Structure 1
Amino acid sequence: MNLKDKLTSSLRKRRSDVFLRADFAGLGSEAQLSRALRELVDAGTIVKLGVGVYAKAKPSALSGKPIPVRPVEVLAPQVFKRLGVKTYPSRLVAAYNAGATTQLPANVVINTGNRRIARKLGFGRQFIQYENNFESAI
């Protein structure tokens, strides 16, 4: 059984839709793992959300190209939880949830409290934006 087959069977067994490259570090060398992950991305089994961050994929109903099984705004908190970053609702989402406004946020914004995040995370043309408001995180 080659590494690509091991990765495929491991992905089928996982409940989580998001996984990190470090999850598979014990299966082979870095070069082998990179090659196998790239083959799975090319095959449409997984999609790359960022550096070392992947998600399960499904074919798009419109174009047939692979897309994440869940929207990026649903997957992003899972990624940050796996990375050990505590997240909070953004200012705009908190205002909407409190009933202060009826306007929904157009972009996906995640509040990271007082922690600065430089990781670029997203898929296609939709990327996560970060907000560092400790006041709204309390």
Structure 2
Amino acid sequence: MVTEERLKRAVALRKDDVFLRSEFAHLGSPAQLSRAFKQLIIDGVLVRLGLGVFAKGKPSALTGKPIPVQPLEVLAPLVLQKLGVKVRPSQAVRDYNSGASQQLAAGIVLDTGRRRITRKLGFGKQTVAYENHHA
């Protein structure tokens, strides 16, 4: 399959670890891209983080199943940055870093400012939550 090989090579040559499907639209038709992405996910080259959002994959040391090359805490802000959303750490993280609190948020929470985000991002059972602070 030609499109699959071109997509695999394009992913390997890129430095970034997260990709939007739209970045590869020039490689083929939507149907060809869907088949190519599906095959690369099966092969473990890519993992899916959300609708049209992919990350480079590697085999897990524990299970051998594909996992993202970096943790979701690192990849999620990169995805939102590619989508044009400015992201800051959540209020709980800012309080913890400033010493105002000893508690750290359980899970991944990102502050998107005034932007309301409905895009679901995650991998496995871990998902990203969003908070809005209008300051």
Letter in 2 for 1:46: L
Q: Report the counterpart of residue 65 of structure 2 in structure 1.
A: 65
Instruction: Give the fraction of aligned pairs with identical amino acids, expressed as a percent.
Output: 56
Letter in 1 for 2:33: L
Q: Report the counterpart of residue 19 of structure 1 in structure 2.
A: 19
Q: Report the counterpart of residue 7 of structure 1 in structure 2.
A: 7
Letter in 2 for 1:49: L
Give the unaligned 5+ runs of structure 1: none
Alignment partners' CA distance in 2, 1:63 and 1:110: 29
Letter in 2 for 1:14: R
Calculate the TM-score normalised by the size of structure 2.
0.97
Tell me the CA shift for residue 3 of structure 1. Answer: 0.6
Letter in 1 for 2:39: E
Give the unaligned 5+ runs of structure 2: none
Alignment partners' CA distance in 1, 2:80 and 2:120: 12
Matched residue of 2:9: which SS?
A: helix
Alignment partners' CA distance in 1, 2:128 and 2:122: 6
Q: Report the counterpart of residue 113 of structure 2 in structure 1.
A: 113
Provide the aligned C-alpha RMSD in A: 0.9
Alignment partners' CA distance in 2, 1:113 and 1:101: 21
Tell me the CA shift for residue 92 of structure 1. Answer: 0.2
Alignment partners' CA distance in 2, 1:23 and 1:31: 15
Partner deviation per Cα, 1:77-125 (whole Å, 9 max, x = no partner): 1001100001111110010111111222211000100110000001000
Alignment partners' CA distance in 1, 2:53 and 2:124: 14
Larger displacement relative to structure 2 (22-31 or 102-111): 102-111
Alignment partners' CA distance in 2, 1:41 and 1:49: 11
Q: In the comparison of the two structures, how many residue pairs are matched?
A: 135
Q: Report the counterpart of residue 81 of structure 1 in structure 2.
A: 81
Matched residue of 1:75: which SS?
A: helix
Larger displacement relative to structure 2 (99-108 or 36-45): 99-108
Calculate the TM-score normalised by the size of structure 1.
0.95
